[in-house]
Amino acid sequence: MTEDKPGVLSSITNYFSDFDISVKKIHQLPESSEADKPIPIIITTHNIKKEKLSNVINKIEGLEFVKEKITVLAIHDN
């Protein structure tokens, strides 16, 4: 959950780039029409080691516009 303001997505994706993580898909869901309410951002990556993902998540959670702890769900393509 993040603030809905300009620059949020670019800041997040810059961290993925810094950690050499390939983003597969980004989906931003407006929860509310109220400007001051946080919105969810869902990011799917290509295959990645858990440790590498944990490192980037720790950095992103420290950004001022991130309003909740990030949830990670593993997606297995079998």
Those residues whose C-beta lies under 8 Å from the C-beta of residue 70, and which sit 6 or more positions away, are: 57, 60, 61
**Amino acid, res. 21:** I
Per-residue pLDDT tens digits for 19-75: 999 999 999 887 666 667 889 999 999 999 999 999 999 999 999 999 999 999 988
One CATH from 3.20.20.70, 3.30.70.260, 3.30.830.10, 3.40.50.300 for 1-78: 3.30.70.260
Give the model's confidence band at 1: pLDDT under 50 very low, under 70 low, under 90 confident, else very high.
very high
Instruction: Report pLDDT for 15.
Output: 95
The full set of domain ranges for the chain reads: 1-78
Those residues whose C-beta lies under 8 Å from the C-beta of residue 41, and which sit 6 or more positions away, are: 1, 2, 8, 9, 12, 26, 27, 28, 29
Per-residue pLDDT tens digits for 35-49: 678 899 999 999 999
Give me the helices (H) in 1-46, please. 8-18
In the block, tokens 């990556």 appear at: 45
3-class SS at 28? strand
Instruction: Report pLDDT for 25.
Output: 95
Q: Is the pLDDT of residue 13 over 90?
A: yes
